[in-house]
């Protein structure tokens, strides 16, 4: 290695990024289409790379997302396409790149950042921790066909329904105090709705998007604000049962479909875990929702070697469904957390679990239950990979 430095990926680097991507992930996808997508990240400085001299050897891009936490939307930099040339792995290149990504997320005003890890070692060293999962279940199509909902009007949806889809999803996630689901930019939703390979239907308080997959059906997202709408949308998918015997669906493990379908989900069912990190601790906590009626007053000591602005003595106040993290004097009763413990706590991991893993220490033991009540709620999940 001669001169490793971080750069913004520009047009002239795209061929090199694609080559490193192929060597990292294997061949796949049309190069021109990939370049078209990559330019969206280049346009506003969300594509970073590492060069050795003039040779690009690593790259990563940042999605401008939002994520639901406690029924509120928090800006999130979704890190994707992290690639390092094989001959440069194990030399600190990935860490150099990801530190630049964290700094860029801070510059862009993302209080949170998330990713699906190819390896946990690198990301844990930089303060990421597991926060939730993406679940895939397989249902019998015939079960879904008979769910009913015949009295609910369902119509075909298209590109012009992007705002409506975002609005309907927002209402459901706010009501359910969801943790984890992503909010995609409107342009991305439009592109999905105009994809000829996807089928989208909308009702008064919900929608479904699904497609064919090897003569079976695959639900990408189904949002329903009522039982009747849920039944109508799942039955719409199940109407393909004469051809498709099964329906794969990304949905949380507590989705109502598990209680409505006659048979338990079988076949290919798996989970893919994702990681979270707080970039701006005060902003992340201020943006998150908390249960009504829960009150918490506690001192924290955060030690974050990668993002020093998070490091220090803080006081956390939770009440009326919101939180404030303010600078405070050192306290002997402070709960001590690093970035991994802070991320896991934010995602609702019980304090007893964090203590057992060495990710939390100190604090007043009676306050543990109050922390659990404040940060608890529905298990965090995502419906999307990125």
- The answer, yes or no, to whether residue 220 has pLDDT greater than 60, is yes
Banded pLDDT at 2 (limits 50, 70, 90): low
Q: Residue 3 above 90 pLDDT? A: no
Same domain, 46 and 171: no
Structural domain range at position 194: 135-271
Decide if 61 is inside a domain.
yes
269 pLDDT more than 90: no
Residues 6+ apart with CB under 8 A from 134: 116, 250, 271, 272, 273, 274, 381, 382, 383, 384, 385
CATH value at residue 368: 3.30.1050.10
Q: Which residues have a Cβ under 8 Å from the Cβ of 232 and sit 6 or more positions away?
A: 148, 149, 150, 152, 154, 203
The average pLDDT across 291-308 equals 97
Task: Please give the mean pLDDT across all residues of the chain.
Answer: 95
Q: What are phi and psi of 215, to 5 degrees?
A: 65, 10
139 lies in the same domain as 258: yes
Mean pLDDT, rounded, for 289-299: 96
* Distance between CA atoms of residues 328 and 322, nearest Å: 19
CATH code, 89: 3.40.630.30
Residue 25's pLDDT is 87
Tell whether 117 and 147 lie within a shared domain.
no
For 119-134, the pLDDT digits (tens) are: 999 999 999 999 999 9
Q: Are residues 31 and 74 in the same domain?
A: yes
pLDDT score recorded for residue 29: 83
Considering the domain boundaries, does residue 343 fall inside one? no
Residues 235 and 302 in one domain: no
Tokens, residue 95: 């860490």
pLDDT tens digit sequence for 68-97? 999 999 999 999 999 999 999 999 999 999
Is the pLDDT assigned to residue 1 strictly greater than 70? Answer: no
Residue 384 forms part of a structural domain: no
* Domain contains 386: no
Distance, in Å, from the CA atom of 239 to the CA atom of 165, rounded to the nearest integer, reads 22
Q: What is the pLDDT of residues 133-171, one digit of tens each?
A: 999 999 999 999 999 999 999 999 999 999 999 999 999
65 & 114 share domain: yes
Count how many domains the chain has.
3
Residue 209 lies in a domain: yes
Residue 344 covered by a domain? no
Q: Would you place residue 60 in the very low, low, confident or very high pLDDT band (cuts 50, 70, 90)?
A: very high
Q: Which two tokens stand for residue 142?
A: 């015939």
């Amino acid at each position: 290695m001669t001169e490793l430095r971080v750069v913004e990926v520009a047009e002239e680097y795209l061929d090199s990024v694609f080559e490193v991507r192929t060597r990292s992930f294997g061949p796949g996808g049309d190069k021109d289409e990939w370049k078209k997508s990559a330019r969206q990240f280049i346009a506003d400085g969300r594509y970073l790379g590492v060069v050795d001299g003039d040779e690009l050897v690593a790259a990563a891009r940042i999605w401008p997302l939002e994520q639901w936490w406690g029924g509120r939307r928090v800006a999130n930099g979704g890190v994707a396409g992290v690639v390092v040339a094989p001959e440069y792995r194990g030399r600190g290149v990935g860490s150099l790149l990801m530190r630049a990504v964290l700094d860029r997320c801070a510059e862009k005003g993302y209080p949170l950042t998330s990713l699906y890890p190819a390896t946990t070692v690198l990301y844990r060293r930089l303060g990421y921790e597991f926060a939730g999962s993406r679940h895939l279940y397989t249902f019998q199509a015939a079960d879904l066909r008979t769910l009913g909902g015949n009295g609910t009007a369902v119509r075909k949806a298209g590109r012009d329904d992007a705002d409506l889809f975002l609005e309907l999803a927002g209402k459901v996630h706010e009501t359910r105090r969801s943790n984890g689901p992503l909010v995609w930019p409107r342009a991305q939703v439009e592109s999905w709705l105009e994809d000829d390979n996807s089928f989208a239907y909308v009702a008064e308080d919900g929608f479904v998007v699904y497609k064919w997959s090897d003569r079976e059906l695959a639900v990408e997202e189904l949002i329903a604000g009522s039982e009747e709408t849920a039944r109508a949308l799942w039955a719409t998918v199940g109407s393909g049962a004469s051809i498709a015997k099964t329906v794969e669906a990304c949905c949380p493990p507590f989705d109502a479909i598990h209680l409505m379908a006659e048979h338990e989900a079988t076949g290919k069912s798996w989970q893919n875990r994702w990681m979270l990190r707080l970039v701006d601790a005060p902003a992340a906590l201020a943006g998150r929702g908390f249960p009504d009626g829960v009150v918490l007053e506690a001192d924290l000591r955060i030690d974050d070697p990668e993002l020093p602005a998070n490091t220090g003595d803080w006081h956390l106040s939770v009440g009326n469904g919101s939180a404030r993290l303010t600078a405070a004097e050192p306290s002997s009763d402070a709960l001590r957390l690093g970035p991994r413990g802070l991320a896991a706590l934010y995602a609702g991991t019980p304090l007893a679990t964090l203590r057992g893993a060495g990710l939390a220490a100190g604090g007043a033991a009676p306050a543990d239950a109050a922390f659990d009540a404040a940060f608890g709620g529905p298990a965090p999940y995502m419906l999307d990979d990125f």
